[in-house]
Amino acid sequence: MQMYSIGIYFYLTVFLYCLNFGNKVESENGIIEFQEKKTMLFNRVREWIAVFDKEILFATKGELFILIVPISIEKDNPREFWTKLFTYIQKWSKTELAKPFYLGIGGKTAAIGDYFVSYQQAVESQNVIINQFKESNFVLYDDLGAYPLFQHLKNSTSTRLFIKKYLNPILNNSDDKNNTLFQTLRAYLNNNGSIKETSEELFIHRSTLQYRMEKIQSLLDIELTSSEQRFNLQLAFKLNDIIDL
């Protein structure tokens, strides 16, 4: 059986603005006109996707465009394929819509029963892009790591309390209005606790970094030599990326 992966790119209310309807479509005539232009837009997208590759299946769900792509088209490099497709859509959207869009790509499927799972993964990927990786505009679900899990945790009271415990002491430090300590700690964790690599990334002297790390440990009342504490801090940063406290 042919295997597929599902990609979704996201407009939601964006085309309301580019079709000059404003924020609301209240009258009956306005709704009819909106539906007509919406259908016209969907047909245009369908045509452009067919020009790129006729084997790509196209569908819509609400405000979403859904692409079902045979694995044979992706060949051995799905990231390269989706990059080319994204670039193609982006070029078209700049002339047709002049609005950004977001492309979330779900996992591979081997049976029709798995299509909905891939669709959900694509939606979750899209949500992560909107909340965290807007500059990239598209992402594969397989590259997201733990972020999809965090999406389900972001509205939890426990999540908010966890973030406050580990990050608020440095975020709310009155002596650090530019959040220097916050950015320093993140760089330190991303560089696996390497003073040398962190100081180089931040373009500061090692002694300056060591001073900041001592300040951070004092504010958080933790030892950064503890792998458990570093894990908790990394988790707090990732959760903080997708939640507005």
pLDDT in tens, 203-230: 999 999 999 999 999 999 999 999 999 9
Q: What is the C-alpha separation between 199 and 128, in angstroms, rounded?
A: 29
- Model pTM greater than 0.75? no
pLDDT value at residue 18: 27
CATH of the domain at 201: 1.10.10.2840
Tell me how many degrees the CA angle 122-123-129 measures, rounded to the nearest 5: 90
The domain boundary, picked from 144, 168, 185, lies at 144
pLDDT, tens digit (0-9, with 9 covering 90-100), for 52-69: 989 888 887 777 788 888
> How does the average pLDDT of the chain come out, rounded?
79
The domain boundary, picked from 94, 127, 144, lies at 144
End-to-end Cα separation, the chain, in angstroms: 47
pLDDT value at residue 21: 33
* Residue 50, domain extent: 4-144
Residues 119 and 165 in one domain: no
Residues in the chain: 245
Residues 129 and 41 in one domain: yes
Residues 129 and 161 in one domain: no
Residues 137 and 159 in one domain: no
Q: How many domains does the chain have?
A: 2
Residue 108's DSSP bridge partners are 5
Residues 167 and 140 in one domain: no
Of 83, 174, 197, whose CA–CA distance to 136 is shortest? 83
Is residue 185 over pLDDT 80? yes
Q: What is the mean pLDDT of residues 21-31?
A: 51
Residues 139 and 160 in one domain: no
pLDDT value at residue 110: 77
Residue 55 sits at φ, ψ, to 5 deg, of -80, -15
Residues 203 and 227 in one domain: yes
Of 241, 131, 127, 114, whose CA–CA distance to 186 is shortest? 241
Residues 45 and 110 in one domain: yes
Question: Model confidence at 169, in pLDDT bands (50, 70, 90)?
Answer: very high
Residues 165 and 207 in one domain: yes
CA 106 to chain centre: 13
Q: What is the C-alpha separation between 182 and 171, in angstroms, rounded?
A: 6
pLDDT, tens digit (0-9, with 9 covering 90-100), for 106-149: 888 877 777 888 888 888 888 777 766 766 778 888 888 888 78
Question: Model confidence at 99, in pLDDT bands (50, 70, 90)?
Answer: low
Q: Where do the H-state alpha helices sit in the chain?
A: 14-18, 28-52, 71-74, 78-96, 115-131, 147-151, 157-171, 180-190, 195-202, 206-220, 227-241
Of 54, 70, 181, whose CA–CA distance to 115 is shortest? 70
The domain boundary, picked from 87, 116, 144, lies at 144
Residues 80 and 109 in one domain: yes
Residues 221 and 201 in one domain: yes
Dihedral (Cα; 152, 153, 156, 160), 10-degree rounding: -150
CATH of the domain at 135: 3.30.70
Residues 19 and 132 in one domain: yes
